[in-house]
Structure 1
Amino acid sequence: MGLFKRIDVQAKIDNETGFGTTTSYSGNRLIHKDGSANVKKKGIGFLEHISWYHWMLTISSLKFWCIVLTFYLLVNLVFAVLYYSIGVENLNGIVATTELDKFGQAFFFSVQTFTTVGYGHINPTGFVTSFVSSIEALVGLLTFAIATGLFFGRFSKPRAYVRFSKKALIAPYKDGRALMIRVAPYKNTNLIDAVTRLTLGISTEEDGKATNKFYSLDLELERINALTLSWTIVHPITEDSPLYHFTEDDFKSIRGEFVAFFKTFDDMYSASVIKRTSYTFDEIVYGAKFLPMFSADTNKKTMLLHLDKLSDYEKVSL
């Protein structure tokens, strides 16, 4: 407890993190590496706490395409079953001898109606079949309108195309030590007016109750004019730092987490973009420094940024 008392006296406590202070949480981390909060909402219905449009914009490309193709196949399969149940004799132009051929042609008629292609060699007859095909055409138009919005939203959504180093380092700094994290852009975007904040969260027990304590960490630089190469975010470990009394064993025995917040202006999108990540104490390398990740090309006229070296470091003594 003496360690945390010294921290409370010297360090600046941050109670505005959104995670609260009293908790029974004993999981792995508060913020995932991708920046999303390690929180699940319960107590309300599934449809109430899920924004399907936001979810479709944020899922991976693989999941997105799997959902789109699955929905496309299922809708056409449902309407093919309806046409087959009504009777394929109500679809002029179908020439089939086996039941499988009849169902297959009903399926592809559904595809043509759903996409409004309408090749014309098959057409519905009778009220029921015509009514079903008109409903399918309406569903197809609405579905493609929604899909177009999703495609545009995913394509045009502003993103912070930056990457953080996989590890945070406790490195030599001037006459002492510092916590260092490295960040770099990885797309052909122009990022200006970059701002970062770093918060330390520590879990401990006070009077038999689990407690979260958060501390705002002072940085060497909180803002830079442009992020063109890499930026090493530095928190000097001075007497005012909550890490001042920390040893290498403390990082192994105490459950804590650094939350990094990064915000910049992307002039290609003309919008501010945000990136978050976190480093648990087991992702801290004690006694190391980052290796250079940029160099000049062979003609010495262009700077090369080696993104594959973003997380490269070497061990040093403190």
Structure 2
Amino acid sequence: MSDENAPTSMTSLSRMIKSDTQLLVRPLGTPRFRAPDMYHQLLRASWLRLTFYFLTTFFLFNCLFAGLFMLDTHGFTHPDPVIDAPRFWQFFFFSIETVATVGYGNMVPLSLYANIVVAVEISLGILFFALVTGIMFARFSRPTARILFSKVAVIEPVEGVPTLMFRAANQRHNLIFQAAASVSVLGDETVEGSRMRRFRDLALVRDANPIFTLTWTIMHPIDEDSPLHQWLDSREAPEGFEIIVVLSGVDERTGHTIHGRWAYTPRDLRWNARFVDILGKDEHGVRTVDYGRFDEVRDLAEGKPQVEARART
């Protein structure tokens, strides 16, 4: 159990968990100027934004050294014939050839100043490409999980006890060893006159799966000890509460620990409903998983299926 006093809205937290966006928080009382967390920001940036950062930095880097080369235009041998471009762009392309260590040999630094600037550019260029390579490798090698969670959770009686249930699926269908699920309810509570945000853990029928390869229905019995027991009288969850799910395990191929997470708000709960069966076999005896019906639930009272539209991710 952990308590937090942060004034963060539930909607923002749910959006962050579901879409991997950054939680918007305005820190107060911190130093006005502090070093940016560049490495973490670049790891979280989209591929489109990261490509834009790389191209923009590379362009400005070569513009800077082209301007430095312009300060001593006679310190270089010039090709014959000269490239059909203004002198600045001649040095711009020479800068690219230098930092990329292409070495065409059509322009050579002669003066001491020109050689010093070239040496500085090569040194910084090696560092730049090393950093870019490190960022790219870190992004490609970062362990990821293709774990799918149902968009809705159902509450139905199991052996006479109302039970919260939702589905998870391993879309890679490889082996995830020692998969473990942690489910908590997050909401505002009044504790000794103070309003606090509090996590309360939910006990699961089974919180571990030794080999998670297909689907897993995660269940929490809402008994008298459950933090959700107070919801049963009105058959409605109070606004502002969220159910936070974290699932982790070890990928069989990489050996890395992978994580999946999801969140359910009160409007995602379906009372007195049951998930439809999605597991089967084809004519060749191969197991099938019908992801088209992954979010489909059936009302126990009327027996009618309810289909939830899956948001694009």
TM range (shorter): 0.7 to 0.9
Aligned partners of 2:150 and 2:168 also within 8 Å: yes
2:8 & 2:110 partners in 1: Cα distance? 64
Aligned partners of 2:188 and 2:197 also within 8 Å: yes
Deviations 1:73-118 (A, max 9, x none): 22122222322343377352164587x5333322211111111112
Q: 2:73 aligns with which of 61, 70, 87?
A: 87
The corresponding residue for 2:61 is: 75
Q: 1:111 aligns with which of 78, 88, 96?
A: 96
Q: 1:262 aligns with which of 237, 244, 247?
A: 247
Q: Identify unmatched segments of 5+ residues in structure 1.
A: 1-13
Aligned partners of 2:280 and 2:288 also within 8 Å: yes
Q: 1:194 aligns with which of 179, 183, 192?
A: 179
CA-CA distance at 1:184 after TM superposition:
1.4
The corresponding residue for 1:313 is: 297
CA-CA distance at 1:193 after TM superposition:
0.9
CA-CA distance at 1:272 after TM superposition:
2.1
Aligned partners of 2:75 and 2:114 also within 8 Å: no
Aligned partners of 2:243 and 2:263 also within 8 Å: yes
Q: 2:224 aligns with which of 232, 235, 239?
A: 239
Matches within 5 A, 1:16-95: 17=2, 19-20=3-4, 22=5, 24-26=7-9, 28-30=11-13, 32-34=16-18, 38=23, 40=25, 41-42=27-28, 43-44=30-31, 47-48=34-35, 50-87=36-73, 90-93=76-79, 95=81
Deviations 1:157-210 (A, max 9, x none): 222332222232323434343212221122364211111111112214467642
C-alpha RMSD over aligned residues: 3.0
CA-CA distance at 1:27 after TM superposition:
5.1
2:8 & 2:40 partners in 1: Cα distance? 27
Q: Secondary structure at the match of 1:201?
A: strand
Q: 2:152 aligns with which of 155, 167, 188?
A: 167
Instruction: Please tell me the residue identity of whatever aligns with 1:240.
Output: D
2:114 & 2:259 partners in 1: Cα distance? 52
Instruction: Please tell me the residue identity of whatever aligns with 1:180.
Output: M
Distance 1:190 1:317, change over 3 A: same
1:217 & 1:157 partners in 2: Cα distance? 30
Say which is worse superposed, 116-125 or 281-290, in terms of deviation.
Answer: 281-290
Aligned partners of 2:173 and 2:213 also within 8 Å: no
Deviations 1:116-143 (A, max 9, x none): 1122222223222222122111111111
Aligned partners of 2:77 and 2:108 also within 8 Å: yes
Distance 1:97 1:157, change over 3 A: closer
Aligned partners of 1:294 and 1:305 also within 8 Å: yes
Distance 1:95 1:129, change over 3 A: farther
Deviations 1:9-57 (A, max 9, x none): xxxxx3xx3x43x565555354522467846355145644x43223323
Instruction: Please tell me the residue identity of whatever aligns with 1:178.
Output: T
2:260 is aligned with 1:284: no
1:313 & 1:299 partners in 2: Cα distance? 28
Instruction: Report how many aligned residue pairs link the two structures.
Output: 298
Distance 1:73 1:291, change over 3 A: farther
2:39 & 2:245 partners in 1: Cα distance? 27
2:118 is aligned with 1:133: yes
Aligned partners of 1:204 and 1:210 also within 8 Å: yes
TM-score for the superposition, normalised by structure 2: 0.81
Percent identity, aligned pairs only? 26
The corresponding residue for 1:295 is: 280
